[in-house]
Amino acid sequence: MSVAAMPKDVSRPDSGNNKTLVEINGLRRVFDLSKPWLNRLIEGGGKVTLTAVDGVDFAIREGETYALVGESGSGKSTIAKMTVGLLRPSAGSVTIGGTDVWGSKDAEGMRAMRRQIQMIFQDPFASLNPRWRVRAIIEEPIKAFDLISDAKDRGERVGELLSLVGLDPRDGQKFPHEFSGGQRQRIAIARALASNPRFIVCDEPTSALDVSVQAQVLNLLRDLQERLGLTYLFISHNLAVVRHVATRVGVLYLGRLVEEAPARELFASPQHPYTKMLLEAVPDIEMGGSERQSIAGEIPNPVNPPPGCHFHPRCPQAMDHCSRDIPPVYHVGAANVRCHLFGDAKRSAR
């Protein structure tokens, strides 16, 4: 079954009262795109910077799937990399299970925390070493974290992990090129599970796969979440996929979260004009699976984003001050919305 053909009412309930596992506060990342200093001196031209992530706050509760959505270039992967410790934030913090990913001086605590975080990438062809047998690929985190010292026990564990993701334990002898795209993503998932993580960041995990296998991989991720009590940060530009997996959704636009809500509420009653526009563009199976309406306007150049609310040039409801003032975050029902239209609502503490 393709993702587009999945039943309509698949959005998942918010887990409600679970403990917070991941906390992201004031996260910001600026990239310096300037030419080297000497070139600037000779050729002229000033510093050029790009703010890829601009003050993002959110929290993920244990067992939840928090989905980040947004068009290409909105900052999704940059947030993912800062969350798992691959890219240093320019400002702000990431706390996982009480440990500050970027600020902790406790080496032992950091090592324990790193074992608990894994990432699955979009392209299973690029993320697996083509010269290694699958067994060696899956074994690597087990060795890196000294989890099982006996080689025979490690081999058994690799077999168990392969079975867990729906592959044959004997597949460990093969090389990545002997598998299909969907199977390779299963191998990447097995590798991610090898260190017994609590939290997995999935960056577009099914976008490179054939539509026919996307749903299988998504269902596998859901089953594993239930069996192993995993927490996910799930990144996708595809709202049909997000609807299938998310418990909570954050909508990004040019590095800022413009709306955040439990998945059910977001899909049933989107508040921000940008969220509404994204939902309008979701392929609708009842209308023949065709795109209903494409998203109006172009994404502005992130080096020089529109002032005030970044979305105002594309917004059908823009008002005068939208081009001047950055909107604060307002509570609207179950959602947090960064939009001047809700100026009468209660401001969020975030």
CB nearer to Mg ion: give 52 or 138.
Answer: 52
Element of type H or E holding 200: strand 199-203
78 binds ligand ATP (CB under 6 A): yes
Cβ(19)–Cβ(55) below 8 Å: no
Please select the residue that binds Mg ion; options are 51, 77, 183, 231, rule is CB under 5 A.
77
Find the shortest distance in angstroms from Cβ 189 to ligand ATP: 20
Residues in region 230-269 near Mg ion by CB under 5 A: none
How many angstroms separate the Cα of 83 from the Cα of each of 80, 213, 279, 287? 5, 28, 27, 38
**Which range of residues in 55-63, 66-74, 131-139, 263-271 is near ligand ATP by CB under 6 A?**
66-74
Three-class SS state of 20? strand
Look up residue 152 and give its two tokens. Answer: 């025979």
Find the shortest distance in angstroms from Cβ 122 to Mg ion: 7
Find the shortest distance in angstroms from Cβ 31 to ligand ATP: 4
Contacts of 340 (CB under 8 A, 6+ apart): 309, 319, 321, 322, 325, 327
**Which range of residues in 73-81, 94-102, 209-217, 283-291 is near Mg ion by CB under 5 A?**
73-81
Find the shortest distance in angstroms from Cβ 50 to ligand ATP: 5
Please select the residue that binds ligand ATP; options are 11, 27, 28, 74, rule is CB under 6 A.
74
Element of type H or E holding 60: strand 49-61
CB nearer to ligand ATP: give 33 or 296.
Answer: 33
Binding partner at 118 among ligand ATP, Mg ion, none, C-beta below 5 to 8 Å by kind: none
**Which range of residues in 68-76, 88-96, 111-119, 314-322 is near Mg ion by CB under 5 A?**
68-76
Find the shortest distance in angstroms from Cβ 299 to ligand ATP: 9
Spatial strand order of the sheet with 91-96 comes to: 49-61, 20-32, 91-96, 99-100
- Which residue has tokens 């592959």? 167
Cβ(277)–Cβ(263) below 8 Å: no
Find the shortest distance in angstroms from Cβ 300 to Mg ion: 18
**Which range of residues in 68-76, 91-99, 208-216, 239-247 is near ligand ATP by CB under 6 A?**
68-76
Determine if residue 301 is left, alpha or beta; phi over 0 gives left, psi from -120 to 50 gives alpha, anything else beta.
beta
Residues in region 276-305 near ligand ATP by CB under 6 A: 302
Task: Decide the pairing of beta strands 65-69 and 248-253.
Answer: parallel
Find the shortest distance in angstroms from Cβ 143 to ligand ATP: 30
Nearest in space to 339 (alpha carbons), one of 275, 278, 276, 272:
272
Please select the residue that binds ligand ATP; options are 52, 246, 249, 341, rule is CB under 6 A.
52
CB nearer to ligand ATP: give 112 or 303.
Answer: 303
Q: Which residue is nearest to Mg ion (CB)?
A: 77
Binding partner at 52 among ligand ATP, Mg ion, none, C-beta below 5 to 8 Å by kind: ligand ATP
Q: What is the dihedral of CA 200, 12, 223, 150, to 10 degrees?
A: 30
Cβ(246)–Cβ(235) below 8 Å: no
Could you tell me the sign of the dihedral formed by the alpha carbons of 307, 309, 310, 312, in that order? negative
CB nearer to ligand ATP: give 28 or 264.
Answer: 28
- By the criterion CB under 6 A, which residues form the site for ligand ATP? 31, 33, 50, 52, 70, 72-78, 237, 302
